[in-house]
Amino acid sequence: MTSSTEVKSSKKPADTRGLAGQTVGDTQICQVSQTELIYRGYEIADLAEHATFEEVAHVLLVGHKPTADELKRFKDELVSMRAVDRGILEVIGKIARSEPSSDDAHPMGILRTGISLLSHVDPDCEDNSPEAQMRKSKRLLAQIPTIIGYGQMSCEGKTPVDPDPNLDLAANLLWCMTGEKPSELNAKVMDVSLILYAEHDFNASTFAARVIASTEADMHSAVCGAIGALKGPLHGGANEKAMAMLKDIDAYIAAGNGDVDSFMAEAFAEKRKLMGFGHRVYKNGDHRAGILRSWGLKIAEQNGPDAKKWFDIGDRVQQIMFEQKNIYPNVDFPCGMTYFVMGIPVPQYTPIFVASRITGWCAHIMEQHQDNRLIRPLANYTGPALTKWNEARS
């Protein structure tokens, strides 16, 4: 019985598993809220419309909007750092050639290995001073496209190309992956997607990087850990899975099994999770998703009905998810369709996310090191009661 002073709440207690709703530290780098995504004071839609990825990288890593001179120096420095040690590239090529060239291959594993190898040739590897950290951040930012491209070209049995010093980072990434100069529109859309993916406060991979950095480990170790976290389908891996689902729907329709609506009804009946939907923070929509969809759609419309159909299927999926579940797409949903109509192989979607998020990770690793205290929370023990070893039955 409830006494007169006890008031029973009908409200369900908040589910705080996975640190949901918990604020676990301060950052000056990024602000994520239900309504906004802000990189060091600049709103994401403003950046996507008016800035370039290199400018955003400067904002995140150096801390402010670059002057024209600063931007030129920053870009020149990045271009000068693009070449990767020959021995490392040979290992990358060998692993890439031995992987099956299907959607199940894992270039994220190749990239993680590549970053680990880079640590052995980086003269600053064990130096955690701010100057050395900045040099390492720039090298990683400059060299990741070279590794991704070398792996992709090797996997396709093509001769890898050297980075092109005349291309900005986004266009150079596409060039390294294909050996073809990208169209202006494809380069622009890649640049916008890199801006949108660059930073997102204490998401799983960045938090993993900060935990590793908090032990005073080196930047490459923290980045390898972050890549491991990003690879999972609940985080960065969702962009590949979102496209895989659209392909499943297309095959389902082509086989005469039904339409998008019946596919979705079956997915709901089986309580399947739809990749590229939902978000831990954004419960009313992810600001980045609409921006990327509109750029992807431009490419699809230019490429014709075979490309546009992916957006038609995607839009219907989105509508049904909203009407029946009140769940919105996150940035990974339009990313899947957008990279697909750009002709990018699906297993490279999450590595491209790395090519962008490396800026946010490195900024956070530097911020962690600037005012470090070991990240070591407590656990609530729920295991067996204390038992004497000699009295226990095995």
Query: Can 306 be counted among the known catalytic residues?
Result: no
Smallest separation, CB 177 to ligand CMC (Å): 20
List the catalytic residue out of 235, 286, 364, 369: 235
Query: Can 200 be counted among the known catalytic residues?
Result: no
By C-beta, is 25 or 233 nearer to ligand CMC?
Answer: 233
Smallest separation, CB 275 to ligand CMC (Å): 5
Smallest separation, CB 20 to ligand CMC (Å): 6
C-alpha–C-alpha distance, residues 382 and 303, integer Å: 56
C-alpha–C-alpha distance, residues 204 and 212, integer Å: 12
By C-beta, is 218 or 240 nearer to ligand CMC?
Answer: 240
C-alpha–C-alpha distance, residues 271 and 283, integer Å: 19
C-alpha–C-alpha distance, residues 336 and 354, integer Å: 15
C-beta nearest to ligand CMC: residue: 278
Instruction: Tell me how far CA of residue 178 lies from CA of 172, 320, 340, in angstroms.
Output: 10, 36, 14
Query: Can 191 be counted among the known catalytic residues?
Result: no
Smallest separation, CB 336 to ligand CMC (Å): 10
List the catalytic residue out of 58, 200, 220, 279: 279
Number of C-beta neighbours around residue 81 at 10 A: 17
List the catalytic residue out of 286, 332, 364, 369: 332
End-to-end CA distance of the chain: 43
Binding site for ligand CMC (CB under 6 A): 18, 20, 203, 234-236, 238, 273-280, 327, 330-332
C-alpha–C-alpha distance, residues 346 and 105, integer Å: 9
Smallest separation, CB 233 to ligand CMC (Å): 6
By C-beta, is 16 or 380 nearer to ligand CMC?
Answer: 16
- Which token pair is 123? 């003269």
Phi then psi for 84, rounded to 5 degrees? -115, 140
By C-beta, is 234 or 244 nearer to ligand CMC?
Answer: 234
Instruction: Tell me how far CA of residue 293 lies from CA of 79, 290, 306, 311, in angstroms.
Output: 30, 5, 17, 8
> Cα 116 vs. chain centroid, distance in angstroms?
18
By C-beta, is 277 or 361 nearer to ligand CMC?
Answer: 277
Known catalytic residues are 235, 279, 332
